[in-house]
Each structure stands twice: as structure tokens, then as C-alpha cells.
Amino acid sequence: MGTQIKALLKLATQRKTVREFKRAIPSVENIEEVLNTVCQAPSGSNMQPWRFMVIDDPKLKTGIRQAAEIGEKAFHEKLSEEKKNKYQTMGVSWQKPMLEQAPILIAVLSDRNSPNSKPSVWLAVGYLVLGLEAVGLGSVTYTPSDYKKVQAVLEVPDEFKLETILPIGYSNDSKVKGYRKPLEEVTYRNRWGEPLKR
Amino acid sequence: MGTQIKALLKLATQRKTVREFKRAIPSVENIEEVLNTVCQAPSGSNMQPWRFMVIDDPKLKTGIRQAAEIGEKAFHEKLSEEKKNKYQTMGVSWQKPMLEQAPILIAVLSDRNSPNSKPSVWLAVGYLVLGLEAVGLGSVTYTPSDYKKVQAVLEVPDEFKLETILPIGYSNDSKVKGYRKPLEEVTYRNRWGEPLKR
């Protein structure tokens, strides 16, 4: 196995989703290193339709949490009993304390006027979560149920759309990494269901 | 700068989009290493809604190219003269020889029944393009203008949606990496337009 893929596999494998954070504040230099990496990503017509808002203002974080929770509460109330129970089992509720407790949030926005902006921005989010892991920072991609409410708090131009907010910081989350399906379950060769290796 | 972020920044920086390929065939082992890395990505409710079809059957590649070009031709014919000229300047036409000439195509599909499947799959595509670079393989994320035509050739179950096809192989593309905006243009702190560093 080559050096570069070995390092990348290690990075990807060691990364797990983090929703609980220590109080220690990540350095701006680390954030810069990560975002410089992210900005190397490809995008539709190379439009680089991403914008990143690094948020460490406590009042703003509280406002984001409140706006997000209004949307989550409405979403959870509309769920069927079956789905409600399913979310409960998964430990998911309408409450999003991580939006206030993480020392930093990174809001990721897409330019609505760029072609394929949503795919391009999410591809870059793949770079972002790997980059954060590479500087020892935990993260989770939180996608608001009602993004407009949260976007209103951010006061961004209308031509940009809030795609996700990542609470980031040093992990204080004891949860282990989630189960991953074996490659055979998700990879085929030439025809649906055919194994990669014959 | 830490070792891991330095390595990731190097990988991300060295990667450029590749549309012309050598005839040499990438090994299945390399493809496996890359896809094992990709499968470590996070996803909505950890549903891992991605499927990968590794395509090296020449007839299937030709069929994919033909289906894709029908969609691209229709798309290009509908363009305004201004946009037509713009695409011409960028060297983009309805023709997609790379879909036939690349030794391998990787079709990436999303499970329509999973929550947030499109964002999750595109995040994983970020892992994928980095992984391919890490084993020395060039790629481009081709998104068909009319994905249904291409999907029909692949004969996949209806609950899956074709998101993108990546022609992959060893680069024979002399084009340099596209210009990247400086970080200041795309990153703000707390408020739109405020610089990250004060």
C-alpha cells in the first residue's frame, strides 16, 4: 500500500463524528490550514461556490442554537410515533446544545448562482471533515431541518444558501465510531450485484 | 504545521482534474484501497447511502458515453448564444470521449430512501477524489445533464439515483490545476465580509 493512501485511510478511519466538545479553543492557524486545504477541492466549472463562516461569538452561537431548535422541534412534532421512537433510540432529539457548547461553529454556504453548487460544496465538506481530523479537531455536519431560520440569524446575502453548520472543537465525546458496512455491500463491478473481485 | 494536515494539504494541492487518460489499467487493489477509505465517511444517520459501480467493460463504457452525449447535446442546443460561447471558451462541448477512453469509470449512486442522501454521497465523493489522487489516479466528477438516460444503461434499482460518474486512470492531461481564490475571498468571521484574522 502506498504512503499517501495509507495515510489517508488512517485519517479517514480514525475520524468519528463528535457532538461533545472540550472548552479548549482551536487556534485560528489550525482553522486556516484546514480551510486552505478545503479550497483546493474541485467544483463545477471551478466556480468554488463555497463560503465559510467561522463563528466564535457566543451570542451568535446562542442565536443559531435557538433558531435551529425551533426548526427541529417542529420537525420532531410532525414525526410518526414509529419514527419518533427510532430517533429516540438513536439518541436524537430536537435539542442541539452542541451549537452553543462547541467553541467554534463553521457555517458552510453555497452560491445559488453557480452550476451544481450543492454537490460541489458537499464534496468540499468531505475535505473539511478530513482536514479537521488532521489537526485533531472533532466535528459533525449538522444540517438544520429549517435552514432558513438559521440562515436569517447569519444575515448572509440571499444568493447564498446555508448547507450545513459544523460544531467543531477537541473531542469530549466517548461514543465510538459507527459501524461501517463491508465494501462488498456497496461496491459492484459492471453490473448491479456483481462483486468487484471475480 | 502538523504531519497529518501537511500531508492532506499536499494531497489536496497536488490533485487537479484529469480528463485525458493513459491506457494503463489501474489495479483492482488500488480501487479497493480507495473505496475502503471512502466508506469511512460520515453520512446522515450513518445510513451509508452510497453505492459504487466500478466499470471496466468496454461495451458498457461506450453505452454510457452514448447515453450521456444525447443528454449533453440536448443541453447544449438549449443554451443561449452567450452561454454557448462561454462553454466553448472553457473547452466544454457535448462530447464526452473520456467516458469511453478512461480505463475505468466509477458510477456513484445514492439511496433515495436515506435522509440527506445527496449531501452524504457528495461528501463521500470528496473522500473519493482525494483517495484516487493518493494512489496516483486522476479523475473528474462528471455529472450528466440527463442522468436518467445514463442510469438506464446501468440498470440499477429505481430507489438509487445516479449522482456522478468519475472517469479514472493515470493522467495524460497536460492542463494545469485551475486557479483557486485566496482564502480571504471565501472565509469570514462571525459576520459576512469580516476577515478571519483581525
Give pLDDT tens digits for B155-190: 999 999 999 999 999 999 999 999 999 999 999 999
Q: What was the pLDDT predicted at B88? A: 86
Rounded CA separation B12/B117 (Å)? 25
Residue type, A126: G
* Chain A hits for B117, Cβ within 8 Å: none
Q: Are the beta carbons of B150 and B71 closer than 8 angstroms?
A: yes
In a domain, B192, yes or no: no
In a domain, A191, yes or no: no
From A12, which residue of chain B is nearest by alpha-carbon distance?
B40
Task: State yes or no: pLDDT of B57 exceeds 90.
Answer: yes
- Decide the pairing of beta strands A160-169 and A138-139: antiparallel
Task: State yes or no: pLDDT of A89 exceeds 90.
Answer: no
Angular region, B90: left φ>0, alpha ψ -120 to 50, beta rest = alpha
Contact state of B155 with A196 under an 8 Å Cβ cutoff: no
Task: State yes or no: pLDDT of B13 exceeds 90.
Answer: yes
Give pLDDT tens digits for A119-175: 999 999 999 999 999 999 999 999 999 999 999 999 999 999 999 999 999 999 999
Task: State yes or no: pLDDT of A25 exceeds 90.
Answer: yes
CATH code of the domain in which B49 resides: 3.40.109.10
In a domain, B95, yes or no: yes
Contact state of B42 with A183 under an 8 Å Cβ cutoff: no
Q: What was the pLDDT predicted at A91? A: 79
In a domain, B71, yes or no: yes
In a domain, A193, yes or no: no
Task: State yes or no: pLDDT of A90 exceeds 90.
Answer: no
C-alpha cell at B38: 471512502
In a domain, A196, yes or no: no
Could you tell me the pLDDT band of residue B92, with boundaries at 50, 70 and 90? confident
Q: Helices A58-78 and A147-154, interaxial angle, to 10°?
A: 170
Structural domains counted in chain B: 1
- Portion of chain A with pLDDT greater than 90, in percent: 94
Task: State yes or no: pLDDT of A8 exceeds 90.
Answer: yes
- Residue A57 contacts B, CB cutoff 8 Å: yes
In a domain, B145, yes or no: yes
Q: What was the pLDDT predicted at B87? A: 86
- In chain B, residues 67-86 whose CB comes closer than 8 Å to chain A: none
Task: State yes or no: pLDDT of A34 exceeds 90.
Answer: yes
End-to-end CA distance of chain B: 21
In a domain, A195, yes or no: no
C-alpha cell at A143: 444540517
* Chain B hits for A50, Cβ within 8 Å: 186
- Decide the pairing of beta strands A160-169 and B104-111: unpaired
Contact state of B54 with A116 under an 8 Å Cβ cutoff: no
- In chain B, residues 81-140 whose CB comes closer than 8 Å to chain A: 90, 116, 118-119, 122-127, 129-131, 133-136, 140
Contact state of A56 with B189 under an 8 Å Cβ cutoff: yes
Contact state of A13 with B45 under an 8 Å Cβ cutoff: no
Choose among A15, A39, A136: nearest Cβ to B40: A15
Task: Please provide the average confidence, as pLDDT, over all residues in chain A.
Answer: 96
Q: What was the pLDDT predicted at B129? A: 98
Structural domain of A40:
14-186
User: Using H for helix, E for strand and C for coil, what is the string for A140-182?
Assistant: CCECCCCHHHHHHHHCCCCCEEEEEEEEEECECCCCCCCCCCC
Rounded CA separation B99/B92 (Å)? 14
Q: What was the pLDDT predicted at B89? A: 86
Give pLDDT tens digits for B114-152: 999 999 999 999 999 999 999 999 999 999 999 999 999
* Chain B hits for A57, Cβ within 8 Å: 190
Give pLDDT tens digits for A46-73: 999 999 999 999 999 999 999 999 999 9
pTM over 0.95: yes
Q: Determine which of A83, A88, A130 to mutate to test the interface with B (most B C-beta atoms within 10 Å).
A: A130
- In chain A, residues 14-43 whose CB comes closer than 8 Å to chain B: 15, 17, 28, 30-42
Contact state of B42 with A15 under an 8 Å Cβ cutoff: yes
Q: Are the beta carbons of A99 and A61 closer than 8 angstroms?
A: yes
